A and B are shown apart, each in its own frame.
Chain A
């Protein structure tokens, strides 16, 4: 025991131990910024959700779980959350699939690679607000381009009030979201594809593998970790979607495209800070649960296989 203590005492004089602190010093500014601007507000929001406070009153009243009780019994909260889940289900399939298909397309073609990469990534560099306004005019029932285009190509039966029909308003906003987001998935997949050794493809070609076999037996399995990252990213953006829906429909008509962030924003706008922070906390828990569960599942599958 005495020897152990003595050894521990000597560790602080070990130059290697002192050197190990340096990386922590380097990341300290980032950690401080993260704690102050990210973690701090999340914790403050969680803390505030137990108090009755309307943003103005200098005093707050501790009311325990009453806000959670109201939120969890509010049909409109569950309606909004269910729309987030629909968005999530679509977001992990459509923009991800589009990103993969386009990444493989760009990877495979011998010419125009730079052009297509830039052109297809272009929507992703625009602000969500700009994209929403562009789509607002695309969907415009009188001046928009979508309905006339459908009529022009013989699909007049599909013309719609894209944002005014409560049955499809959510899906219309999803199309705008997809347009803004598939580019990110595409460039991440493209980077992943470029990491796969060409030797594997060469060997497959020698063995007579066709395009389909290369895609399903080499490309997709080799992009396993990239898929995990891209889908996790989609989980975060789909559960936190706000700008596109807020500008296109404001969550309407009659809450048909409402999502949690708009629900929270509406509460904040009405100075209902307790309800807003309670709803935001529930959403955070759901997002953490889904994303952590997904990552753990992927790790388990990777390990078990």
Chain B
């Protein structure tokens, strides 16, 4: 009996100590958790897996700031922009957000005071010396800087290396050579230019690519509304060159009957030989597993005197919400803008960072080539039209370009239609 009573006593003591230990551990955890400042993040601006990796690594390395990651930006760009706008307006959104579209979207957020002015942060962190001035200008509004460009995109021609080898073709560097390549490809029974414009996208971008390569920064004046569309003769030359892809049989037939993704299938299947695309195409084409090797070159300029080499711009930017804890948010920005993270982004998701870094040469050859060429031509990249055009006008441009490709409008009529659409919008706003 005595033994049993002692057993109960020991058991009760052990149980009490265990409970006390658990309570103590919980209290300690709570105290530690209270010390860490939560930073709500909806995206760090990269593809899903890399976002997860970054969050995990940051939280492991930092005790005082804790990223709370919510994967809510699962819709289209437009839907995501709407979510962000509404959430920020109601102070219910993320504290730090990556992958934000600049241009009209950033301007709208800034005009209502939803995002933090990062000008002083740029100076204090030295970031101002690492971001090329033409990129900085895209996130600067009325002399103040509101976002950090994360990656640089430049559009070029991805081509089927096997077909080029089969036809003994060299990579073209001038417009006349490009046309010769297109002719040779056409004669061999392939299609040289990939075009899928059903639904509108990416009609305006493709047309802009050719207008940039003919008019250069004059096209930026047109997009900005400081020069009439109809006065831009170089833009007309670019449009004629673009229309020539269809009219001369260089592009696949039925460009308005298939959408963008369906047109890419033609490239993966080896029916089309070249496709105009950005660096994100490296990962996309790897997933499609084509049975040929892919190469890359910049589209030769329609007008050799143009000061813009290619279309592209900022793929996404980091912003800080006006209501965020500044110290915690800046700690995260410090970490995200390190060279180590930028190089890792280049390795893992083929994103060309906007920060000045040395492109490592131990990465995949195609990634290395595009990253190097982008870095070498960063001051010769014409930004996305939507950076300058109001979204409504850009949306209309997609339809209007379809009109030209479908033969309903001549290139001259396209410019007139754009002038009317653009000026109507500006007059109303």
Chain A residues at the B interface, C-beta cutoff of 8 Å: 54-58, 70, 76, 136, 139-142, 161-166, 248-255, 258, 266-267, 269-272
B112 lies within 8 A of A55 (CB) = no
**Complex contacts, A252 vs chain B, CB 8 Å:** 198-200, 256, 398-399, 402
Q: In the complex, what's the smallest C-beta–C-beta distance from A167 to chain B, in angstroms?
A: 10
**Complex contacts, B254 vs chain A, CB 8 Å:** 141-142, 161, 164
B395 lies within 8 A of A270 (CB) = yes
**Complex contacts, A76 vs chain B, CB 8 Å:** 396
Interface of A is mostly: loop
**Complex contacts, A272 vs chain B, CB 8 Å:** 392
Q: Mark B249-271, 1 if CB is under 8 A from A, else 0.
A: 00001111111001000100001
Which residues of chain B in 372-416 are interfacial with respect to chain A, using CB atoms and an 8 Å cutoff?
390-392, 395-396, 398-400, 402-403, 405-406, 408-409
Q: In the complex, what's the smallest C-beta–C-beta distance from B45 to chain A, in angstroms?
A: 21
**Complex contacts, A136 vs chain B, CB 8 Å:** 259
A57 lies within 8 A of B255 (CB) = no
Pick from A58, A162, A250, A269: contact of B257, CB below 8 A.
A162
A–B Cβ pairs within 8 angstroms, 19 of them: A56-B108, A140-B257, A142-B258, A163-B256, A164-B198, A164-B255, A164-B258, A250-B201, A251-B200, A252-B200, A252-B398, A253-B403, A253-B406, A253-B408, A254-B400, A254-B406, A269-B395, A270-B391, A271-B85
Instruction: Give the CA-CA distance A138 to B110 in the complex, in Å.
Output: 46
Instruction: Give the CA-CA distance A236 to B255 in the complex, in Å.
Output: 33
Pick from B262, B392, B399, B402: contact of A267, CB below 8 A.
B392
B198 lies within 8 A of A54 (CB) = no
Q: B52 interface residue, CB < 8 Å from A?
A: no
Extra inter-chain contacts (17) besides given A162-B257, A166-B408, A252-B198, CB under 8 Å = A56-B86, A56-B108, A136-B259, A164-B256, A165-B256, A248-B198, A249-B198, A249-B199, A250-B198, A250-B200, A252-B399, A254-B402, A254-B408, A266-B392, A267-B392, A269-B78, A271-B391
Q: B82 interface residue, CB < 8 Å from A?
A: yes
B108 lies within 8 A of A164 (CB) = no
A141 and B257 in contact, given A56-B89, A253-B406 (Cβ under 8 angstroms)? yes
Instruction: Give the CA-CA distance A237 to B52 in the complex, in Å.
Output: 43
A140 lies within 8 A of B258 (CB) = yes
Residue of A nearest to B203 (CB): A252
B89 lies within 8 A of A250 (CB) = no
Residue of A nearest to B108 (CB): A56
Q: B349 interface residue, CB < 8 Å from A?
A: no
Q: In the complex, what's the smallest C-beta–C-beta distance from A160 to chain B, in angstroms?
A: 9
Instruction: Give the CA-CA distance A55 to B266 in the complex, in Å.
Output: 40
Residue of B nearest to A272 (CB): B392
B89 lies within 8 A of A270 (CB) = no
Instruction: Give the CA-CA distance A58 to B88 in the complex, in Å.
Output: 11
Which residues of chain B in 64-103 are interfacial with respect to chain A, using CB atoms and an 8 Å cutoff?
78, 82, 85-86, 88-89
Instruction: Give the CA-CA distance A161 to B253 in the complex, in Å.
Output: 9
Which residues of chain B in 262-288 are interfacial with respect to chain A, using CB atoms and an 8 Å cutoff?
262, 266, 271
Instruction: Give the CA-CA distance A201 to B206 in the complex, in Å.
Output: 65
A254 lies within 8 A of B108 (CB) = no
Instruction: Give the CA-CA distance A164 to B111 in the complex, in Å.
Output: 40
Instruction: Give the CA-CA distance A266 to B402 in the complex, in Å.
Output: 16
Pick from B390, B400, B406: contact of A164, CB below 8 A.
B406
**Complex contacts, B408 vs chain A, CB 8 Å:** 166, 253-254
Instruction: Give the CA-CA distance A266 to B395 in the complex, in Å.
Output: 8
A55 lies within 8 A of B85 (CB) = yes
Instruction: Give the CA-CA distance A141 to B396 in the complex, in Å.
Output: 25
A161 lies within 8 A of B257 (CB) = yes
**Complex contacts, B89 vs chain A, CB 8 Å:** 56, 58
Pick from B85, B86, B259, B392: contact of A270, CB below 8 A.
B392
A270 lies within 8 A of B390 (CB) = yes
Interface centre among B109, B253, B259, B409 (most CB of A within 10 A): B259
**Complex contacts, B395 vs chain A, CB 8 Å:** 266, 269-270
**Complex contacts, B258 vs chain A, CB 8 Å:** 140-142, 164
**Complex contacts, B428 vs chain A, CB 8 Å:** 70
Q: In the complex, what's the smallest C-beta–C-beta distance from A239 to chain B, in angstroms?
A: 22
For the complex of A and B, the 4 pairs showing the least CB-CB separation, nearest first, are A164-B257, A164-B256, A254-B403, A250-B199
Residue of A nearest to B77 (CB): A269
Instruction: Give the CA-CA distance A271 to B262 in the complex, in Å.
Output: 29
**Complex contacts, B198 vs chain A, CB 8 Å:** 163-164, 248-250, 252-253
**Complex contacts, A162 vs chain B, CB 8 Å:** 257
Q: B114 interface residue, CB < 8 Å from A?
A: yes
Residue of B nearest to A172 (CB): B257
**Complex contacts, B402 vs chain A, CB 8 Å:** 252-254
Instruction: Give the CA-CA distance A162 to B266 in the complex, in Å.
Output: 18
Instruction: Give the CA-CA distance A139 to B406 in the complex, in Å.
Output: 17
Q: In the complex, what's the smallest C-beta–C-beta distance from A255 to chain B, in angstroms?
A: 5
A58 lies within 8 A of B390 (CB) = no
Instruction: Give the CA-CA distance A248 to B198 in the complex, in Å.
Output: 8
A271 lies within 8 A of B200 (CB) = no
Residue of A nearest to B111 (CB): A57
Interface centre among A166, A253, A267 (most CB of B within 10 A): A253
